[in-house]
Structure 1
Amino acid sequence: MAKKLGLILLIFVGFSCKISQTNKNYTLVPDSIFEFFKYEKSKKTMVSVHRGGGELKSLPENCLESFDYISKKMPCIIECDIEMTKDSVMVLMHDKSLDRTSTGKDLVFNNTFETLKKLKLKDNFGNVTDYKIPTLEKALKWGKNKVIFTLDVKKTTPFKKVIEMVNQQNAQNYAVIITYNANEAIEVYKIDPNLLISVSIMQLSDYERLNEAGIPDNNMVAFIGTREPKPELIDFLHKKGIMCILGVLGNLDKKAAARGDEYYKTFIDQGVDIFATDRPEAVYGIINKL
């Protein structure tokens, strides 16, 4: 992919979206999120940034400044986590507790947003930054014409509230709802059948349950786990037009760091469409060589 400092319009081969690069940031602008995530062999492999970053010092996870940094490096999907405060404000936070990633204490759900506004985020090395805990509303406003979000809805947060916010911000075309089992996927689909859903499909029976529940293939992007994938499962899902996300975060990222980044190419050759990773720049470097 050519890189220039001026404004360039690029078409990511086979994708129904425009990718723009300026000296400020990349932008992903899907014509249709359903077409964007529909499997086609010609489409280029994508990067999903786990927790929106966090591998670098001074750039915390679930932080708008980290999202901005990585979106200037590559076209990407931003995975982020949603917790809810005592006064029902949805914020980006992975843990139930505030202490690991911020200067706060106690559970997110035991604090009001007014309290959270006074806190600062910590990076993953324990360093306090000047960055603040963002709300889901602010993140969705920031992300328009920049990235696609996959929203990991934590147990304290009702899917209904997240979906209401997505619709309020007109973010349906750049926000995907993550689910971890068929019951969650069914719940999301019933609330709003016009949203794309990240569904967990580790084996054929997982797909069959979703299909029997009436969720169309077109509404699914499949998370196929965090271990080396089964090529036969990928082939099956591709025949259904469903793209596959492999979670290389954790074990497989560590293997790539130890063995060399070319290790990621193994999974590209097996048909993985999207890498969910804590090492986005390393993965993108391999994709860009192909």
Structure 2
Amino acid sequence: MLRFALVCQLLAGLAFATNCSAEEPTQLPLILAHRGGAYEFEENTMEGFEACYERGIRGFETDIRMTKDGVLVLLHDDSLDRTHNASGPVEERTADELKGVRTNKGQAFLLLEDYLKYFQNKPGVYLELEMKTSNKNLYPDARIAEYCDKLYAMASKYKPANSDYLFTSFDERPLVVMRTLDANWPIAIIASQPLSLEFIERANRLHATHIACQISGTSRKWVQEAQKLGYKINGWPGHGVEDYHLAIGLGLDVACTDIPLAIQRFKEKLPARNPDTPE
């Protein structure tokens, strides 16, 4: 029944669209600094987040993991090997053991609380907090509830007014738990695939508000149809300025990029679309 209802809605939208001229987006996609600008700075470091904010970026994405003793930290990979002067999963270390860990260029290992404290007095930011729990060896079902409880409590504590904080994941398990903790908090399902009817159905089943899809292969038609159903669409990955060109053409709401400052410089050269509409 759900699929039938969605198909009917989408077909109705398509029929309407064929009788109307295509509308231009009223604003450009929000620049989302992926891991704080992973190609311009060391990823998931305060250096990157601070530099991007100071230069006008207001969208940030980061990755959340939990230590052996239940402390939330920022790290993308399943191990420390690639980005830090240590090895193995952060889930097998205590927070105290991480105090001496540094990035490859000598920056301190970043705790989620320190990250959120930085944005606490900065209203108007958009933060995507990706829950890196897909590895079931590191995050068995029994550990998901503790992880979600702590993340929800901390995000709620530090979130400033007039800001958008999203819980996002490839893993459906934490999304389901987050929806039970708060029926209204924005959540996004991520998948390594273009936007499609099946992807929209999955978002609907999870009661998601946002969809993060691969920009390559996604069509403007599906972006428009998903937006008509109320979803905000984030396209990834963004490695070059040409990816932001594509995000504009697709009419995305958010463009995830590893080069946020380069995109910001490009965006500043574009003519304003609607100066009365905030990003």
Please classify the TM superposition score into its range, dividing by the shorter chain length. Answer: 0.7 to 0.9
Q: 1: CA distance between counterparts of 2:169 and 2:75?
A: 17
> Residues 40-55 of structure 1 correspond to what in structure 2 (within 5 A)?
41-55=25-39
Q: 1: CA distance between counterparts of 2:26 and 2:56?
A: 19
1:198 aligns with 2:191: no
Contact 2:215 2:247 in 1 (8 A): no
| Equivalent residue number for residue 32 of structure 1 | none
| Equivalent residue number for residue 53 of structure 2 | 71
CA 1:48–1:170: 2 relative to 1, 3 Å: closer
Contact 2:203 2:211 in 1 (8 A): no
Shift of 1:163: 1.1
1:136 to 101, 112, 119: 112
Q: 2: CA distance between counterparts of 1:133 and 1:197?
A: 26
Contact 1:45 1:287 in 2 (8 A): no
| Equivalent residue number for residue 100 of structure 1 | 82
| Equivalent residue number for residue 277 of structure 1 | 257
Contact 2:84 2:103 in 1 (8 A): yes
Match of 2:86, SS state, is coil
| Equivalent residue number for residue 238 of structure 1 | 227
Contact 2:80 2:90 in 1 (8 A): yes
Q: Deviations over 1:209-256 (max 9, x none)?
A: 44355x2xxx6122122424211111102212322111033xxx2xx4
| Equivalent residue number for residue 225 of structure 1 | 214
CA 1:84–1:182: 2 relative to 1, 3 Å: closer
Q: Deviations over 1:33-77 (max 9, x none)?
A: xxxxxxx94233211111112323xx3211112100111122221
Shift of 1:97: 1.3
TM norm structure 1 = 0.71
Q: Deviations over 1:91-121 (max 9, x none)?
A: 1111121122111222211111111111211
Q: Deviations over 1:5-39 (max 9, x none)?
A: xxxxxxxxxxxxxxxxxxxxxxxxxxxxxxxxxxx
| Equivalent residue number for residue 96 of structure 2 | 114
| Equivalent residue number for residue 150 of structure 1 | 128
Gaps of 5+ in 2: 1-23, 134-138, 271-279
Deviates more, 1:202-211 or 1:67-76: 202-211
Deviates more, 1:198-207 or 1:74-83: 198-207
Q: 1: CA distance between counterparts of 2:242 and 2:48?
A: 25
Match of 1:175, SS state, is strand
CA 1:54–1:263: 2 relative to 1, 3 Å: closer
TM norm structure 2 = 0.74
Q: 1: CA distance between counterparts of 2:174 and 2:91?
A: 21
Shift of 1:182: 5.2
1:160 to 125, 131, 149: 149
Q: Deviations over 1:247-289 (max 9, x none)?
A: 033xxx2xx4xxxx35632330221221111111222233223
Relative contact order higher in (CA < 8 Å, ≥ 6 apart): 2
Q: CA RMSD in A?
A: 2.4
Q: 2: CA distance between counterparts of 1:280 and 1:237?
A: 25
| Equivalent residue number for residue 10 of structure 1 | none
Query: What percentage of aligned pairs have identical amino acids?
Result: 26
> Counterpart amino acid of 2:179?
Y
Shift of 1:159: 2.5
> Residues 80-91 of structure 1 correspond to what in structure 2 (within 5 A)?
80-91=62-73
CA 1:263–1:197: 2 relative to 1, 3 Å: closer
Gaps of 5+ in 1: 1-39, 123-127
CA 1:227–1:266: 2 relative to 1, 3 Å: closer
